[in-house]
Structure 1
Amino acid sequence: MIISLSLGCGSLLYTLNNPDPATTIRAFCKLRMYILQSTFMMSRWMITIACVDRYASSSSNAGRRRFAHVRIARRVVIIIICIWLLLPLHTLIFYEIRPGGGVCGIIYNRAAALYHSSYTIITGGVFPLTIMLTCILLIRRNLTVKRNLLEKSKTECSSFQHIVTNVRIQRTRDQQALAMLLTQVTVYCFVQTPQFSYTLYAAIASNVTNKSPERLAI
């Protein structure tokens, strides 16, 4: 994410007093989009896998909790990085600069443009969001099961004051965990929707000729 922000903001600041390299240098156009695509997707899937990790760590099943081990998390991170270094390679092939239009995009291959937009929306939006929502439901179920067990222990061992305290602490943690996950998913949807809408529009309108200056700016 830091790489994406640095590259995006850095190139924008450079264009304040210089020609935009993304629309004047073919190699920069291709590499910029490849790096942005790779790093953004890596960050999205890191967040998604973090939700899966939270689900595993909240499970009462010892086998599932083993998936939340640091060693496994490191392997998953390496796999995600490798995958998203390979999947966006098509951007290096199909991204071009429209002559006279000042646009860097997939402009000569409509099928590639539709593939790019579909793959971006599905792998960067639909799949991560579905996994996050599923993890929220599963985590809520796990926390409910744990809370019920604590309540049962409280009933059976009402003489132990520390059990009552543990139940209250666990209830507070449950509420905080669910609130944090719901906020994360809400922010994710709010931030990503404009980009996915633009990606789909750009693919549909990529081969439209005689665009107005306003549409070219978009």
Structure 2
Amino acid sequence: MSLSTSTLVVVQQYLTRYGMTTYDILGNIGSIFNLLIFSQSSHRCNPCSLYIFSMSLCSAIGLNSAVIPLIYALDHPNPLSYSIPFCKSQYYFRHVFSQSMRTFFVVACVDRYASCSNRVFIRSFSRHQIAIRVIPLVIIFWILLGLFPTMLYTISNGVCDAQDGLPNILYSAYIMIVLGILPLVTLFTFGVLMMINLKESRANAQTLGNRKIVSIIRKRDRNMMRMLLTELTIYIITTIPNTVVLIYKVATPPAANGSERQCIESFVFYFARVFLLYLNNSLSFWIYLITSQSFRHEFKKLLFHLFSFVEHKKPQATIVH
């Protein structure tokens, strides 16, 4: 093994041990705060809040099922390299819940568009009753569809991945559709439609001459656009490399075992298909915290309530006479 390939192995181990451990911890903390914030009574009747709550729950499950086995394998035998049942089940859980998370993000964007539409029919899709029906349907859909790519997975040369040949081609096409094309097209489309609707609403408010309404709409406009565009940008950054790698893997013949090219490809595949891809699972809370002033206000209120609750539960000191 050359110096460059051995360096890549060490870099991959450091990325897993410190990088993935860090964003797994931050992702779990963020998911817990999201669940606490969006489960409050003020959010329970808001369909978008219900989608974000579901997204955060699925995000945590998908993140942990993907990352924890890799961190564990740094200092222990890796069951993904020899146990086909573990290989398939680990892939199934991380795929089902990570895809559910991405779908809830798309649905939340659709809900944001519907809620600010000028058409009554479109606004009717932004309802609590709709969200209650959509959420279990999304999870059931991915539980069933997730069986297809799981059947294509096996262990080859100690690597848990789609089988070479036709299974790999089918898997790559499937991932490019469900992870790349459909979410990106949907997010872009409804993002543009939402900006148009908000622009029309602001124009209507200005026509009425109500400065207070204009100020509220401008503030909401900024907050929503920051959150949406930041999430969309990060989604593109973390998923496009995975699509490119899959195309490359299908289009090029496999490298010889132990060759320098195989080591480089292995590192690139790891970085694009694991490190970057599941980094996205850990970021929603931190994106909201950075980009939305109203969310920061909600977070401060939550911390105050938690602090008050802890203080209230502390045992009172016994007064000695």
2 CA distance for matches of 1:146 and 1:42?
32
8 Å CA contact 2:106, 2:186 repeated in 1:
yes
Q: Where does residue 258 of structure 2 map in the other structure?
A: 212
1 CA distance for matches of 2:225 and 2:174?
30
Q: Where does residue 88 of structure 1 map in the other structure?
A: 146
Q: Where does residue 104 of structure 1 map in the other structure?
A: 160
Report how far residue 197 of structure 1 moved. 2.9
8 Å CA contact 2:63, 2:98 repeated in 1:
no
Q: Where does residue 57 of structure 1 map in the other structure?
A: 115
More moved, 166-175 vs 41-50: 166-175
Q: Where does residue 182 of structure 2 map in the other structure?
A: 127
> Which amino acid in 2 is paired with 1:63?
F
Aligned residue pairs total 206
Q: Where does residue 3 of structure 1 map in the other structure?
A: 61
Report how far residue 11 of structure 1 moved. 0.7
1:123-202 mapped onto 2 (5 Å cutoff) = 123-154=178-209, 163-202=210-249
SS at match of 2:80: coil
TM-score with structure 1 setting the length: 0.86
8 Å CA contact 1:30, 1:91 repeated in 2:
no
Structure 2: runs of 5 or more not aligned: 1-58, 268-321
Report how far residue 185 of structure 1 moved. 0.7
Q: Where does residue 300 of structure 2 map in the other structure?
A: none
- Relative to structure 1, the CA distance from residue 141 to residue 213 in structure 2 (aligned partners, 3 Å threshold; closer, same or farther) is same
TM-score with structure 2 setting the length: 0.60
- Relative to structure 1, the CA distance from residue 126 to residue 4 in structure 2 (aligned partners, 3 Å threshold; closer, same or farther) is same
> Which amino acid in 2 is paired with 1:7?
S
- CA displacement 1:6-31 (0-9 Å, x = unmatched): 12222122212221101111101111
SS at match of 1:97: strand
- CA displacement 1:49-104 (0-9 Å, x = unmatched): 10000000011222211111011012111111111111121233221111xx2111
1 CA distance for matches of 2:137 and 2:94?
18
Report how far residue 203 of structure 1 moved. 4.1
- Relative to structure 1, the CA distance from residue 201 to residue 36 in structure 2 (aligned partners, 3 Å threshold; closer, same or farther) is farther
Report how far residue 152 of structure 1 moved. 1.4
1:41-80 mapped onto 2 (5 Å cutoff) = 41-80=99-138
Q: Where does residue 75 of structure 2 map in the other structure?
A: 17
Q: Where does residue 159 of structure 1 map in the other structure?
A: none
2 CA distance for matches of 1:77 and 1:174?
26
Q: Where does residue 32 of structure 1 map in the other structure?
A: 90
2 CA distance for matches of 1:31 and 1:12?
14
